[in-house]
Amino acid sequence: MMDVNIIGGGVIGLSIAYELAKQGLQVAVFDRQQFGQEASWAGAGMLPPAKLECATTPGGQLRAASQPLWPDWSRRLQEESGIDNGYLNCGGLHVALSEDVTDWQ
């Protein structure tokens, strides 16, 4: 019997499964194709840059709050698994399309 079933075997679903399993939970991940072949594949595995001050939705706020955690988490995952996950912090470019957007820059 599983403690947690996760639908979606992309970077987010697999990351959640990994962390829950480390805490001793029995986890199953379901995906209609191979893991990492849907949204993660289409998004090229990109974690878009985010600023908490500019996040206007709950999803945007979660993304912005979690972004600083990725470098350390990626390093730990690579050390524990021996697999290079290809994480690279290379920044991003935000084009301001209106003056109010430039206020936070």
User: What is the C-alpha radius of gyration for the chain, rounded to an integer number of angstroms?
Assistant: 16
Q: Which tokens go with 13?
A: 């679903």
Nearest to 3 by CA among 25, 24, 30: 25
Q: What confidence score (pLDDT) does residue 102 get?
A: 66
Report residues of the chain scoring pLDDT below 70: 39-47, 49, 101-105
The conformational region for residue 49 under phi > 0 = left, psi -120 to 50 = alpha, else beta, is: beta
The DSSP 8-state label assigned to residue 83 in this structure reads: -
- Contacts of 28 by beta carbon, 8 Å cutoff, 6+ apart: 2, 4, 5, 6
Q: Where are the domains of the chain?
A: 1-46, 47-92
